[in-house]
Amino acid sequence: MKPIGKYIIVKDIQETITTESGLILSGEDTNQLRYKRASVIASGTDVSVIDEGDELYYDKAHSFTMLIDDIQYTIISERDVVVVI
């Protein structure tokens, strides 16, 4: 599968976060945060900085999901990437 233009296909990473006070936030709690962590599956034809296998944080408010071969992927635009790790 190959996205066209500035689109990127990512697979969300479920992460747990420990707060400064020691509380562990589960995957359900982290879903309430604005930004999500993901691994890049494929980047579009006009994306030059982000490569397959990169991990990044993106603004989940501007994403959408698709089922491709019964696997759920998230589609984002390059402009919605906040940080590449």
CATH of the domain at 56: 2.30.33.40
* pLDDT given for residue 30 in this prediction: 62
- Please classify residue 56 by burial: count the beta carbons closer than 10 Å to its beta carbon, then call 0-12 exposed, 13-18 middle and 19+ buried: buried
* pLDDT given for residue 52 in this prediction: 96
Q: pLDDT grade, residue 27 (50/70/90)? A: low
Residue 75 lies in a domain: yes
Instruction: Please give the tally of structural domains in the chain.
Output: 1
Compute, in degrees rounded to 10, the torsion defined by CA atoms 15, 20, 21, 24: 0
Q: pLDDT grade, residue 72 (50/70/90)? A: very high
Residue 18 lies in a domain: yes
The radius of gyration of the chain's CA atoms, rounded to the nearest angstrom, is 13
* pLDDT given for residue 14 in this prediction: 81
Residue 55 lies in a domain: yes
pTM of the model: 0.83
Residue 1 lies in a domain: no
- Report the C-alpha gap between 35 and 20 in whole angstroms: 19
Query: Residue 41's closest CA among 1, 84, 10, 80?
Result: 10
